[in-house]
Structure 1
Amino acid sequence: MRIRPVLAATLLSVLTAGTLSGCHSASGAAEAPSFVDSAAPSAPSPDLSAGPSASVPASASPSTPASASATPPVKPKTLPKPGNPNGHAAVPSTARPVDTSKPTRKIGNGTAASCTSAAVVKAVAAGGIITFDCGPVPVTITMTATAKVRNTVSKVVLDGGGRVTLDGAGKRRILYLNTCDAKQGNAGGSCIERTTPKLVVQNMAFKNGNSTGEKLNEGGGGAIFAYGGSLRVINSRFTGNKCDRTGPDLGGGAVRISYQGGDNTVYVVGSTFTGGSCSNGAALSSLHARWVVLNSVLSGNSAVGNGANPARAGTPGGGSGGAIYMDGDTIKLTVDGTIIEKNHAKEGGGAIFFVSNDRSGTLTIRNSKLRKNPSDGFETFPGVFYLGKGDPVISGSTVS
């Protein structure tokens, strides 16, 4: 192998001339950012496990008694909880949700219409702990630009409270962090060794991200791209994200990682990845990185490239790691309490493609289920292609 560096407003306001709906400006004009810097405490973000509530009742009629004329408040709702409910892997303190009860800034002012792409972009660039105030029911924010983390901030924590979906509309990458991209600022030192910015996404959903054509630093990462710094993904859902369909080393229909600073470990906890498509690693992909995937679900993702890595003569390369693709030196992957099923690779590793170039990398699978992950080309054992230190360590798991 070559080494190459997831009702709109509190109540929809009925206006004389019409109604506001969705998360876009009614006029179609450019979105105005709507976020508030705040040091004041706010209510903690709800757990994604909260169930749905009754729909909003109709407004009272003129004949309704005055004592019953007020419309009851909308009971908060959340999106379906992601991850594997039967996964019981212990989650280390470093991989648990960040306390966002005192956010640095909020996106929105209580209505779905106030939660815009422009507000997300501006808040992410400013950094800090970011929450959303978009009303009591789930909202989808269609991104008209990629939200980019500035290299001069120490952290970005994005917490959707279980109600917010960022939608790339099949046109663009959703979140971007690159410590070697001078356009995002230069904090000095070796860019690939920088441990900041620290990016945490929790209680979020990302869908329809697409990084096709993005070639900087190998490309990939339809929903999230992180080169340098560090990343944690907690209690989040990724659906239908994509990257380029061919190429021997690019990947990450949902998430692409390279060179996490200081050999940081990428944690994925209680999250779900479905319907991803990319040349390699249709859910998760990395170069020279370490992953721990806990209590999660990776299902129905497809590595669609052709020619493997290095690319066979006359082919563009790719097609490995239906769910997970890992390449590089001193890499590690731990999968615990996780279901990886019904993923597909056109070449090798329908579930996992793992190649440690210096044979120092290790693969550990505990208390997990890997099943029905066909590899059209090659595999070491069902659904997995592995080159590393010794044999994979598998315990309490089903691999079929």
Structure 2
Amino acid sequence: MRLKPVAVLLVLGVATATLPGCGGAADERPPVATAATATAPAPPTGTPGARSGLGGPGKSASPKPSASAGALLKAGNPNGGAAVPAEARAVDTSRPTRTVGTGTPASCTSDAVVRAVAAGGIITFDCGPDPVTIKMKATAKVRNKVGARIVLDGGGKVTLSGGGERRILYMNTCDAAQNFTTPHCQNQDHPQLIVQNLTFADGNSTGERTEGGGGGAIFVRGGRVKVVNSRFTGNRCDRTGPDLGGAALRVLSQYDNKPVYVVNSTFTGGVCANGAALSSIGVSWTVLNSVFTGNKAVGNGANPAKAGTPGGGSGGAIYCDGNDFTVRIAGTRIENNHANEGGGAIFFVSNDRTGTMKIESSTLRRNPSDGFETEGLPGIFFLGARPPAVTSSRLS
């Protein structure tokens, strides 16, 4: 492996990223909690039982946006061609548990969204025939006891906006304020959060410190999360820091290391210290038929932070750190992203060198890394079990 000369020693010394235990104090680099050592209150009576799988379409296929609505929400790579497994597809929302709005734009309010997310279930929107933007006055937070699955389906016409002031959506099984539901919050299969046919715009988690921050539009720890046919634009998180990230989506502690599915979705204009679209620690990803463009990792000093710097600047589009995890990217375009340090497109560091990555039928181009990248992999910095498997793809 040949690295560009800048910060070579820094990146080879990437520190093992760690996460806080259930209910423990959180800062940017708290100690690891494992199933054997985590301490959490006993789960309340009536805790939901174990559940498996995010699920795919039911007997009645999830209704797609109408032709007119579909033209309004243009998400993903229509020429991607990667097969989408049932578990990764949109779910059936033809029989919603609750609906935000009563048929007019004025009825679709931030308060209505916050209440619906707190109540859980399958959530759809009735805001009238035209596209609507709902400016969030507060972050919508999942309450962990509301059930196995929380689904938000915007029907292709709804934008949830943070207004450049706040994070839009939050789920954390290890946050006591949202209720503990098992004694092992860092590895439980519920709740399962699914967002589909939605736009998330101008979310901003700058200054958030819970679990180390990040997640300008959506922050998730625990359970599982899936994103389908959605668009993320202009989201933000802190501009400096060695390990925080995810201007669009920050994910930690997914159940049994099952993958986060990102399908037919688009990420543009994100800005963060690292991972200006997606960011995670110890989490696996499957990204299918999606687009990443114009995202910027603006930190400086890499990880661990070079002396005299605040750290960060890696993973213009995607930042993945931790130990044993996998990343699969198929049918996807990653172009015109930028990193001040390493991996203008993708930063992938498996600290124990067990992690693996596959890139299939994808295009990665014009993703400059100002500091360092791996020889033969333009726009990528990679440390893992073996070189990434790259098939039918263009990297330039």
Matched, 1:373 2:390: no
Matched, 1:4 2:18: yes
Q: Look up the match of 2:3.
A: none
Alignment of 1:90-105 (within 5 A): 90-105=83-98
Contact map agreement 2:235 2:271 (CA 8 A) in 1: yes
Task: Find the aligned partners of 2:170 and 2:258 in 1 and give their Cα distance.
Answer: 18
Matched, 1:123 2:116: yes
Moved more, 207-216 or 187-196: 187-196
Task: Find the aligned partners of 2:101 and 2:65 in 1 and give their Cα distance.
Answer: 20
Q: Look up the match of 1:389.
A: 385
User: Which secondary structure state, in structure 1, belongs to the residue aligned with residue 67 of structure 2?
Assistant: coil
Cα offsets for 1:126-184 (capped at 9, x unmatched): 00000001111110000000000011122110000001000000000000001110000
Q: Look up the match of 1:316.
A: 310
Which amino acid in the other structure matches residue 393 of structure 1?
A
Cα offsets for 1:293-330 (capped at 9, x unmatched): 00000000000001000101111100000000000011
User: Which secondary structure state, in structure 1, belongs to the residue aligned with residue 385 of structure 2?
Assistant: coil
Q: Deviation at 1:50?
A: 2.1
Q: Look up the match of 1:207.
A: 201
Q: Look up the match of 2:188.
A: 194
Task: Find the aligned partners of 1:85 and 1:230 in 2 and give their Cα distance.
Answer: 26
Moved more, 256-265 or 290-299: 256-265
Task: Find the aligned partners of 1:80 and 1:277 in 2 and give their Cα distance.
Answer: 22
Which amino acid in the other structure matches residue 290 of structure 1?
S
Which amino acid in the other structure matches residue 117 of structure 1?
S
Contact map agreement 2:246 2:280 (CA 8 A) in 1: yes
Contact map agreement 1:130 1:156 (CA 8 A) in 2: yes
Which amino acid in the other structure matches residue 18 of structure 2?
R
Task: Find the aligned partners of 2:183 and 2:337 in 1 and give their Cα distance.
Answer: 40
Matched, 1:251 2:245: yes
Alignment of 1:30-45 (within 5 A): none
Q: Look up the match of 1:135.
A: 128
Task: Find the aligned partners of 2:241 and 2:268 in 1 and give their Cα distance.
Answer: 21
Q: Deviation at 1:350?
A: 0.0
Q: Look up the match of 2:178.
A: 184
Which amino acid in the other structure matches residue 67 of structure 2?
A
Q: Look up the match of 2:210.
A: 216
Alignment of 1:10-49 (within 5 A): 47-48=64-65
Q: Look up the match of 1:109.
A: 102
User: Which secondary structure state, in structure 2, belongs to the residue aligned with residue 226 of structure 1?
Assistant: strand
Q: Deviation at 1:77?
A: 7.2
Task: Find the aligned partners of 1:144 and 1:106 in 2 and give their Cα distance.
Answer: 19
Contact map agreement 1:45 1:161 (CA 8 A) in 2: no
User: Which secondary structure state, in structure 2, belongs to the residue aligned with residue 141 of structure 1?
Assistant: strand
Q: Deviation at 1:264?
A: 1.9
Which amino acid in the other structure matches residue 169 of structure 1?
G
Alignment of 1:250-399 (within 5 A): 250-380=244-374, 381-399=377-395
How well do the aligned residues superpose, as a CA RMSD in angstroms?
Answer: 1.3
Q: Which has the larger radius of gyration?
A: 1
Task: Find the aligned partners of 2:337 and 2:270 in 1 and give their Cα distance.
Answer: 9
Task: Find the aligned partners of 1:162 and 1:45 in 2 and give their Cα distance.
Answer: 13
Cα offsets for 1:164-218 (capped at 9, x unmatched): 0000000000000011100001112111011111000000000000000011111
Structure 1: which 5+ residue stretches go unaligned? 6-42, 52-75
Aligned residues with identical type, % of pairs: 65
Q: Deviation at 1:86?
A: 0.4
Q: Look up the match of 2:67.
A: 50
Contact map agreement 1:139 1:163 (CA 8 A) in 2: yes
Q: Look up the match of 2:138.
A: 145
Structure 2: which 5+ residue stretches go unaligned? 1-14, 20-59
Q: Deviation at 1:78?
A: 5.3
User: Which secondary structure state, in structure 2, belongs to the residue aligned with residue 334 of structure 1?
Assistant: strand
Q: Deviation at 1:393?
A: 0.1
Which amino acid in the other structure matches residue 87 of structure 1?
G
Which amino acid in the other structure matches residue 246 of structure 1?
T
Matched, 1:226 2:214: no
Alignment of 1:57-96 (within 5 A): 79-96=72-89
- Using the size of structure 1 for normalisation, the TM-score is 0.83
Which amino acid in the other structure matches residue 276 of structure 2?
A
